[in-house]
Structure 1
Amino acid sequence: MTPAEQRTASRPGGRSARVLAAVQQAATELICERGPENVSIPAIATRAGVNPTSIYRRWGDVHQLLASVAETRLAPESVPQDTGNLREDLVLWAEELLDHISSPEGYASLRTVINATAEGEVRDRCLRKRADQVDLILERARVRGEGRPTTGQVMDHVLAPLHFRVLFGVEPTDAACVRGLVDELLSGR
C-alpha cells in the first residue's frame, strides 16, 4: 500500500469517506469526458467541491490519484458467483468483467491504467485481483472434480481478448462473444 493509500485508509468514515467518494466520482467523470491525460487536480477539486490541498495531501499528485481511482474501479473486491459448474462460473465472471470494462467508467479506468506506465504496480494489482478471482473459480471446479484450465490460460484466452476487444472496439463484444471464448478455452481449441 502506498503512503497515499495508507493515509486514505486511515480515515475510512464520516467526512473523509464523503470526500473520498466525491473525489473518485469527479475524477472518473473527468476521465470519461476528457481522457486521463487531460485531467488535473484543480479540475477534480472543483468538480468534487473540495479544496485541492485535500487531494494533494491524500494522493500527492494527479497520477497517483488517477491510478488509485482506476484500480478501485477496475479490480473491485468481488467474489465470483458459484453456480456449481465451471463453464457457467467462467461465463458469469467474464460477462460481469465485460459489463464493467465496457461501461464508460470502466473503459476510462482501463485507459488510465494503460496510460500510467509508471504505475506498473497498479496494473499488477489489478491483474492479481482478477487472477485471484479466477483461482477461486478454478479451485471450486477442482473440488467438484471438474477438469479445468490453468489460471494463465483463462487470463490469456478470456480476460486478455475481452480487454483487447473493448480497447480497440472490435465487434461484436457481447455475451455471445464471452460464451464463445469460454467454450473455446474449455474445448482446448
Structure 2
Amino acid sequence: MSKDSRPGGRSARVRAAVHRATVELVQESGADKVTIPAVARRAGVNPSSVYRRWGTTAALLADVAAQQHEEGAPELLGDLRGDLERTAVWTLADLTRPGGVAFFRAEVAPDVDDRRAGLSECLRRVSGRFRIALEAAAERGEKTPSLEQVLDRVVAPIYFRVVFSIPETDEDYARALVGELCDRG
C-alpha cells in the first residue's frame, strides 16, 4: 500500500500543515502579507507543491476559510430560539477569530477564480448552519421564520458589523438579533 492511499496519508498531512501555516501567518501578519513561499517554508513543504494544489494565495486562503467554516459547528439543543442563538454566536465567533475577516474577504475576493462562486459557496455554508436549525424546529412542529428572514435579520447584521469593525458586536448582540426575530413571530 502506498503512503498516499492510507487514510491521513501524505496528501492529508501536507494539506493540514499548509492550512496550519496559513492560519498562523494570517494571525501574525494579516492575509495581505501571506505568500505561498512563506506558507511553504512554515509548513515545511516545497512551494511548488502549494502552487500545484492551490495556484494562488487567494485560492489557498479561500480553501482554509471553507475548511474552518465546516469545523466546530454547534450541536442543536432542540429548541428553535436556543439553536438559532447558538448558531448566531458560533457564526460571530468564527468571523471574529484572529484572521476571521481576512479569511472571509479572501473567500469572496474577486481574484479567486470566480467571485460569484466564492460568494455563493460562502452563502451556502452560512445558510446551511441556520437551515439545519430551522428544519429541525419545523419537524418538531415549531413555527419558524424563513431562512431569508434569518439571513436578513441575524446573519447580515453580524457580518456587516464585524467587517466594518462596529463596536459592541458580541454574543449578547447576536442573541438579541435572534430574540428580535423570534419575538416578531
TM surpasses 0.5:
yes
Match of 2:104 among 106, 110, 125: 110
Letter in 2 for 1:44: V
Letter in 2 for 1:49: G
Residues 3-22 of structure 1: matches in 2 within 5 Å?
13-22=8-17
Structure 1 counterpart of 2:130: 134
Q: 1:89-111 CA distances to partner (integer Å, 9 max, x unpaired)?
A: 10011111111111103233123
Aligned length: 180
**TM-score computed with the length of structure 2 as normaliser:** 0.86
Structure holding more helix per residue: 1
Q: 1:45-89 CA distances to partner (integer Å, 9 max, x unpaired)?
A: 11111100111121122222122112222x215664222211001
Structure 1 counterpart of 2:38: 43
Deviation at 1:19, TM superposition (A): 1.1
1:120–1:12 Cα change, 3 Å: farther
Residues 44-123 of structure 1: matches in 2 within 5 Å?
44-73=39-68, 75-76=69-70, 80-116=74-110, 118=112, 119-123=115-119
Where does structure 2 lack aligned partners over 5 or more consecutive residues?
none
Contact 2:58 2:107 in 1 (8 A): no
Letter in 1 for 2:24: E
1:141–1:32 Cα change, 3 Å: same
1:115–1:67 Cα change, 3 Å: same
Residues 140-179 of structure 1: matches in 2 within 5 Å?
140-179=136-175
Q: CA RMSD in A?
A: 2.3
Deviation at 1:114, TM superposition (A): 4.1
Q: Which moved more, 1:120-129 or 1:144-153?
A: 120-129
Q: 1:125-159 CA distances to partner (integer Å, 9 max, x unpaired)?
A: 12102212222111111122211111011111111
**TM-score computed with the length of structure 1 as normaliser:** 0.84
Runs (4+) of structure 1 exceeding 4 A deviation are 77-80
Q: Percent identity?
A: 45
Structure 2 counterpart of 1:124: 120
Contact 1:22 1:48 in 2 (8 A): yes
